[in-house]
């Protein structure tokens, strides 16, 4: 993910934002929502389809030593995933959340990467490095995109809905 040999990015986690395709944002709307995060972020590699709808982008936050790759997905895999998630969440999520989830036919994948430099790898052991992980950029972006799409944000590793 980096052309600088002194640094690299390591994948840490992926969050999903499930929503109805009728709420699919344009690239301009996504850019505006993420720009609200302030000067801490840089948007790169922004891609839209022919109608201007959002496809993907990369967000970098040097202050947080983080980068996010955000992409739009739709189709049978999303529909199958929503059914599986609804089964997993049926005892913990409210009826309204489950209804919104079952209407979802699209999602944003938000992949979180941590910037690692040679210095940080040599000076910190892995347990300490995991404790240094700052999810601020990830959480702020997920919140902004969830609001934009009126979606449901899910941490698939824990199976939790982020509200």
pLDDT reading at 122 higher than 60? no
Give CA angle at 102 (100, 104), nearest 5°.
75
The pTM is what? 0.84
Q: What mean pLDDT do residues 127-149 have?
A: 79
Residue reference for tokens 């998630």: 85
3-state class (DSSP) for residue 100: helix
Please name which of 20, 21, 46, 22 lies closest in space to residue 33, comparing C-alpha atoms. Answer: 46
Task: Convert the pLDDT of each residue in 23-34 to its tens digit.
Answer: 999 999 999 999
Q: From CA 54, how far away is CA 28, in angstroms rounded?
A: 8
């Amino acid at each position: 993910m980096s052309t600088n040999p002194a640094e690299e990015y390591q994948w840490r986690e992926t969050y999903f934002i499930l929503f109805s395709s009728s709420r699919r944002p344009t690239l301009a709307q996504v850019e505006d929502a993420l720009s609200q995060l302030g000067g801490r972020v840089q948007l790169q590699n922004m891609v839209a389809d022919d109608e201007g709808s959002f496809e993907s982008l990369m967000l970098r936050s040097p202050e947080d030593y983080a980068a996010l790759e955000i992409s739009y997905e739709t189709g049978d895999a999303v529909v199958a995933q929503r059914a599986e998630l609804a089964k997993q969440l049926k005892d913990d999520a409210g009826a309204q959340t489950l209804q919104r989830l079952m209407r979802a036919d699209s999602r944003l994948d938000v992949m979180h990467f941590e910037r690692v430099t040679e210095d940080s790898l040599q000076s910190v052991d892995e347990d300490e490095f995991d404790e240094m992980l700052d999810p601020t950029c990830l959480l702020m972006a997920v919140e902004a995109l969830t609001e934009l799409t009126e979606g449901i944000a899910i941490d698939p590793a824990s199976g939790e809905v982020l509200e």
